[in-house]
Amino acid sequence: MILPRDAQSIIDTLKKAGFEAYAVGGSVRDTIMGKPTKGWDYTTNATPEEILALFPDSFYDNQFGTVGVKIYESPSARPIPGIKKIDSGNLTVSDIYEITTYRSEKGYADRRHPDTVRWGVTIEEDLARRDFTINAIAWDGKRLIDPYGGQKDITATIIRAVGDPKERFAEDALRMMRAVRLAAELGFSIDESTLAGIQANAHLLVNISMERVRDELLRILAAQFASDAILVLKATGLLTIILPEFDEAFATPQKSPKRHHIYDVGTHSVMAMKYCPSADPVVKLATLLHDIGKPKTFHKDETGLITFYNHEVAGTRMVRKIVERLRLSKKQSDLVLTLVRWHQFSVDERQTDAAIRRFIRRVGKENLDAMLALRIGDRLGGGAQETSWRLELYKKRLVEVQKQPFTVHDLLVNGHDVMAELGVKPGPIIGTLLDQLFAEVEAGTLVNEREALLTRMRELKSTIN
């Protein structure tokens, strides 16, 4: 194992000045695992002032004792794996490194922030305040300091709290989400007593801002092992805090005569999310939520047939509250709402082009791939094949009908053509003519080709005058 050049030089600079210094946290963990790193964090016994004095281009802008150090190199320098380059004039900042003074933390009355932070004296003290054993390994390029058996847990693929899990989660409830997120990203399992600690403290998650919970949730949904992680959120009680709507979904059956469903609504939703082929966590979220209206619209008739009429409408209403609660951006919210609202789209081959075009207008051209990804997840998560001849035909027709203009602006003639061709002045007649041409193209009685449009324009002029 070797540290990247810049990372090592930061440690060496601190050591030459007589301080202790180590890389610590996620990048040490990822390096041990042989994975690419995402920026380095350091810890040292130098105080912020002492760090600032050693690095000419460093800045100190928070109360947690973290100093940011910029390392410059010439723009032509060879890229360093795992190091992000930031352009800044003729010099390139290869990364901003965060250096934090050893610290120990005491008391977490609000379950989020320590009541007191004091500079620690030893590296062991600093590692003791870190969340999980795999994140509590320090490395100076030569020596690994691993008092909690982090390397052993990496080998065993286990997320284990440092110290007593119940205490650590009661100190900072966000750690429970971090545990599940790390498990989802790394494919690790959560140690039994750590899991019990989450179960005992899940209710404390209400103390954490929804923005931070949402960030972890989106990272979970983007992770390779997202579906297992959602089931862990459910089993520990965390899901009840974040998405209480799911409690009912897991209790809603949908297996009935003449229906293909094999799972309850909640399990089907998780399966659909798992198989949804999108890389976008927002599309994954929409897939997870697509059937959330089913519990409210559940109906079972005397033959035992279960139906959920208009569940997508009821679901959209519920999702409106959910995206607000999760503080999603306007763009993210719109996408989730659109996908849930129209997820029941029909792929019936007897549909007219006009019906397909209406669907595209509702969903938005830019969201069609996401809509299809949800449908594939929905199918696979319900025990069906990934696709069908009907769905394949429908996809072809989606492409075909988009070759036709969608609005008057897509016509191959415009207002200038109308004025030039017919010798008229700017006025309402131009819009009227273009609307009429568009209506005929949309109806399929006129083709969107320049010559045909101009000819038709001349014909129409006489009828309008």
Binding test (CB under 6 A) with ligand ATP, winner from 135, 194, 278, 333: 135
Q: Which stretch binds ligand ATP (CB under 6 A): 87-95, 170-178, 329-337, 375-383?
A: 170-178
Compute the least distance from the CB of residue 135 to ligand ATP, in Å.
Answer: 3
Give me the phi and psi of 161, to 5 degrees please. -65, 150
Q: List, as one string, the DSSP characters of 370-417.
A: HHHHHHHHHHHTTT--S--HHHHHHHHHHHHHHTS-SSGGGSS--HHH
Residue 224 and residue 279 in contact, taking contact as beta carbons nearer than 8 Å:
no
Q: What angle do CA 203, 208, 209 make, to 5 degrees?
A: 135
Q: What is the dihedral of CA 438, 444, 449, 451, to 10 degrees?
A: -90
**Closer CB to ligand ATP, 130 or 274, in the complex:** 130
Residues 120 and 13: their CA atoms lie apart, in Å, by 20
**According to the binding rule CB under 6 A, does residue 20 interact with ligand ATP?**
no
Name the closest residue to Mg ion (Cβ). 26
* Size of site (CB under 6 A) for ligand ATP: 11
Min CB(175)–ligand ATP separation in Å: 5
- Structure-block tokens of residue 438: 């568009």
Q: Which partner in Mg ion, ligand ATP, none is near 245 (CB below 5 to 8 A by kind)?
A: none
Q: Specify the residue, 131 or 312, whose C-beta has the smaller distance to Mg ion.
A: 131
In 76-147, the DSSP E strands lie at 86-88, 91-101, 103-106, 116-119, 138-139, 144-145
Only one of the segments 169-177, 195-203, 412-420, 433-441 lies at the binding site for ligand ATP (rule: CB under 6 A); that segment is 169-177
Q: Which is nearer to ligand ATP, 201 or 448 (CB)?
A: 201
Structure tokens belonging to residue 402: 């988009």
CB of 98 to Mg ion, least distance (A): 8
Q: What φ, ψ does residue 422 adopt, rounded to 5°?
A: -105, -5
Give me the residues paired with residue 97 across strands: 69
Q: Is 131 in the site for ligand ATP (CB under 6 A)?
A: yes
Backbone angles phi, psi at 309, to 5 degrees: -60, 135
Site stretch for ligand ATP (CB under 6 A), options 130-138, 358-366, 380-388, 415-423? 130-138
Q: Which of residues 35-74 bind ligand ATP (CB under 6 A)?
A: 38, 41
* Beta carbon of residue 38, minimum distance to ligand ATP (angstroms, whole number): 5
CB-wise, 218 or 336, nearer to Mg ion? 218
Contacted by 175, from Mg ion, ligand ATP, none: CB < 5 to 8 Å by type: ligand ATP
Is residue 175 close enough to count as binding ligand ATP by CB under 6 A?
Answer: yes
Give yes or no for a contact between 100 and 65, defined as CB atoms under 8 angstroms apart: yes
Q: Name the 3-class secondary structure at 433.
A: helix
What's the closest the beta carbon of residue 85 comes to ligand ATP, in angstroms? 18
Residue 103's binding partner among ligand ATP, Mg ion, none (Cβ under 5 to 8 angstroms by kind) is none
Q: Is 26 in the site for ligand ATP (CB under 6 A)?
A: yes
Contact set for ligand ATP, span 386-405 (CB under 6 A): none
Indicate which of ligand ATP, Mg ion, none lies near residue 268 (CB less than 5 to 8 Å, by partner kind): none
Sign of CA pseudo-dihedral 326, 329, 333, 335: negative
Amino acid code (one letter) for 33: M
* Cβ-based nearer residue to ligand ATP, 26 or 364: 26
Binding characters for Mg ion, 19-58, by CB under 5 A (x = yes): -------x--------------------------------
CA distance 266 to 272: 10
Q: Other CB atoms closer than 10 Å to residue 455's CB: what's the count?
A: 13
* Least distance between ligand ATP and beta carbon 130 (Å): 4
Could you give the count of Cα atoms lying within 13 Å of 214 in the half-sphere of its Cβ? Answer: 14
d(CA 334, CA 330): 6
- Residue numbers 185-214 binding ligand ATP by CB under 6 A: none
Does 237 contact ligand ATP by CB under 6 A? no
Question: Could you give the CA distance from residue 247 to residue 260 in angstroms, rounded to a whole number?
Answer: 23
What are the residues binding Mg ion (CB under 5 A)? 26
Per CB under 6 A, residues contacting ligand ATP are 25-26, 38, 41, 130-131, 135-136, 172, 174-175
